[in-house]
Structure 1
Amino acid sequence: MSLQPAHWHPVLPPSVLAQPGLQLDLSGTNPALASVAVDDAEAFGQWIGQRIAAADCQWAIGGYGEHRGLYSMSPLFGDEGPARSVHLGVDCWLPAGTEVYATRDGRVHSTANNARFGDYGPTIILAHETASGPLHSLYGHLAPESLTLTRPGQTVSAGQHIGWLGEPRVNVGWPPHLHFQLIRDMGQYHGDFPGVCAAQDREQWLSRCPDPMPLFHAWCAKLCAPDLRKP
């Protein structure tokens, strides 16, 4: 599926995307993570903030297809089958309260508060029709108040305000961030969808969940922002 940026609205405020952003490496091969308590949202958030500041950036993004050892912190990613470690979406690391917008015209497929430790917390899933067929977008780690802005079946417009980023206490162990994921085939999921897969199933799941990063590069370029920086 080819993503045409002109058909998509930024999921984050222009004031964010116009600022320098760091492509944050949370892979298992990053030695800097070895000393970070990733199961402590405050400590993990401080570490992320330090990386952003050291790169002279204002926010951070990354993670699509990334193999992450940090998921071993929660039984959610291994108790019901093979250990899951490959990230299927993009994470945008920003302060709680940052506004989130619908990325295309569509309807609300489902919402839920996925409250197990390590999960999404409050989540919204939108359904869209594209030239290539049905597509869904998932917005995870939202504030609980976000779920009052939408209801299943509701029509939404591209750029419509659908929520805010949540605090760690409602996002079950994570520092504030948006998990944004595109999904070709929702199957029978409602209010939830795997954001991480087992390494042996990597190609299958990445094919099902296309890379959103080209959209972010295009949005930043349109705002004449610096390209997303690597550490």
Structure 2
Amino acid sequence: MYPNTFSEFLFKLNGTPLRVLDPSIDNSNYIALDLSEDNEALQMVDVSSSSKLENYITNHIKKHNALVAFGGYNENRNIYKRSNYFNLETAKERNIHIGMDLWYDAHSPVFTPLDATVHSFKNNINYGDYGPTIILKHHINNVDFYTLYGHLNLASIENLKVNQFIKQGELLGLLGDASVNGDYPPHLHFQIIKDLQGFKGDYPGVCNKADLDFYLENCPNPNLLLKL
């Protein structure tokens, strides 16, 4: 059932869904969203435009009478072709998403799903990048791991301190809009990371096919915690 023992550990951490968005939003108000290159409906959308992509996502949410769209783990996407950041000549094209995206309104609160300390934070300003980003460190049952929160607003990282304790359920920050979040529709990129490999305030959320096996093991499916 589980790809590795770390995934099993994560799944068994909580019997009920953990929340990174408003905890009053029931699972029934989340709707899965396919942004993969295989989604034929997206071929009619200019995904290089944050406003046009936002219209597509908003209509998808309304169509299903939901509040939040989610998905994207291990999803091969075309939306990164717009940015040289993912397609440098010195590297293989990165187009496989290895976190979970939660598409919701700008300035909505983001909460800490588990007790944590602040590992690092940074405003990643490359076009198509995370924008303001926070990485938390968790130490549970003698196991260390990290969670990453990308596409926040600038205020979310203004008063943070490294090693600051943040209790489960405490406000972590707010979602940013396209002007600060890498030019995307408002959403949270949520990612679990076993080994940060020395990164601070940043960690790859998109990888290439050659490195996929490593990243899927190092970054298990966030739905192990969210249980959507």
Same fold (TM over 0.5): yes
Q: Which deviates more, 120-129 or 73-82?
A: 73-82
Structure 1 residues 7 and 149 mapped into 2: Cα distance closer, same or farther (>3 Å)?
Answer: farther
Aligned match for 2:31, one of 10, 22, 28: 22
- TM-score, with length taken from structure 1: 0.89
Structure 1 residues 211 and 196 mapped into 2: Cα distance closer, same or farther (>3 Å)?
Answer: same
Tell me which amino acid in the other structure corresponds to 1:54: K
Q: Partner of 1:135 in structure 2?
A: 145
SS of 1:39's partner is coil
How far apart are the structure 2 equivalents of 1:143 and 1:17? Answer: 25
Preserved contact between residue 18 and residue 225 of structure 2 (Cα < 8 Å): no
CA deviation after TM superposition for structure 1 residue 132, in Å: 6.2
Structure 1 residues 149 and 163 mapped into 2: Cα distance closer, same or farther (>3 Å)?
Answer: farther
Preserved contact between residue 131 and residue 181 of structure 2 (Cα < 8 Å): yes
Preserved contact between residue 64 and residue 87 of structure 1 (Cα < 8 Å): yes
Tell me which amino acid in the other structure corresponds to 2:29: P
How far apart are the structure 2 equivalents of 1:105 and 1:159? Answer: 8
Q: Partner of 2:134 in structure 1?
A: 124
Q: Partner of 1:225 in structure 2?
A: none
Contiguous gaps of at least 5 residues in structure 1: 218-227
Aligned match for 1:51, one of 35, 50, 60: 60
Aligned match for 2:216, one of 201, 206, 210: 206
Q: Partner of 2:175 in structure 1?
A: 165
Preserved contact between residue 60 and residue 92 of structure 1 (Cα < 8 Å): yes
Please give the residue correspondences for 1:46-195 in structure 2 after superposition, counting only pairs within 5 Å. Answer: 46-79=55-88, 80-131=90-141, 133-195=143-205
CA deviation after TM superposition for structure 1 residue 145, in Å: 0.6
Preserved contact between residue 107 and residue 126 of structure 1 (Cα < 8 Å): yes
CA deviation after TM superposition for structure 1 residue 70, in Å: 1.5
SS of 2:146's partner is strand
- TM-score, with length taken from structure 2: 0.91
Tell me which amino acid in the other structure corresponds to 2:36: S
Tell me which amino acid in the other structure corresponds to 1:98: S
Preserved contact between residue 123 and residue 141 of structure 1 (Cα < 8 Å): yes
Preserved contact between residue 107 and residue 153 of structure 1 (Cα < 8 Å): yes
Figure out how many residues of one structure are paired with residues of the other and give that number: 218
Q: Does 1:10 align with 2:23?
A: no
Pairwise CA RMSD of aligned residues?
A: 1.6
Contiguous gaps of at least 5 residues in structure 2: 1-5
Moved beyond 6 Å, runs of 4+: none
